[in-house]
């Protein structure tokens, strides 16, 4: 040891290096969390859009009428488990809520608004996606 100044400089250099390493690790972790959240939001939108795509193929309006026995959303909410990863080693649960209501009936046309909400509680704050669709029937 030649002097105390070298020890002080070495200690300061080690502290600066450790602060840089901690900040780099924190930044990497935050970027990774943002990526995971964006992927979960994408999956939630895909689930909601898939449900609305099913509504486009409904020909019997009784299936969208909440007062009818054939109402398709009578057994909702549903839990959808989405598996992903190379061997499906990861999974997320999405809660699917759906409902429809008649918004117009003028004798020649009936319109139903279908609302689909998908919630994922894995992240804080929760991922909450709502999509709406209007289905029309004319006579």
**pLDDT tens, position by position, 1-14:** 568 888 888 888 89
Contacts of 45 (CB under 8 A, 6+ apart): 118, 129, 131
Structure confidence by residue, pLDDT tens digits, 55-114: 888 888 888 878 787 888 888 899 999 888 888 888 888 999 999 888 888 878 888 889
pTM recorded for the entire structure: 0.73
How many structural domains is the chain composed of?
1
Question: Does residue 135 register a pLDDT over 80?
Answer: yes
Domain that holds residue 97: 4-138
């Amino acid at each position: 040891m030649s002097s105390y100044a070298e020890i002080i400089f070495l200690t300061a250099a080690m502290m600066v290096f450790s602060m840089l390493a901690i900040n780099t690790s924190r930044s990497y972790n935050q970027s990774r969390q943002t990526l995971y959240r964006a992927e979960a939001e994408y999956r939630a939108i895909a689930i909601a859009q898939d449900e609305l795509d099913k509504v486009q193929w409904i020909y019997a309006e009784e299936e969208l009428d909440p007062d009818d026995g054939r109402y398709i959303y009578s057994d909702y909410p549903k839990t959808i488990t989405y598996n992903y990863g190379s061997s499906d080693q990861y999974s997320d649960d999405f809660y699917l809520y759906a409902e429809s209501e008649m918004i117009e009936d003028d004798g020649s046309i009936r319109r139903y608004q279908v609302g689909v909400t998908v919630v994922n509680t894995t992240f804080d704050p929760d991922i909450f996606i709502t999509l709406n669709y209007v289905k029309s029937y004319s006579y």
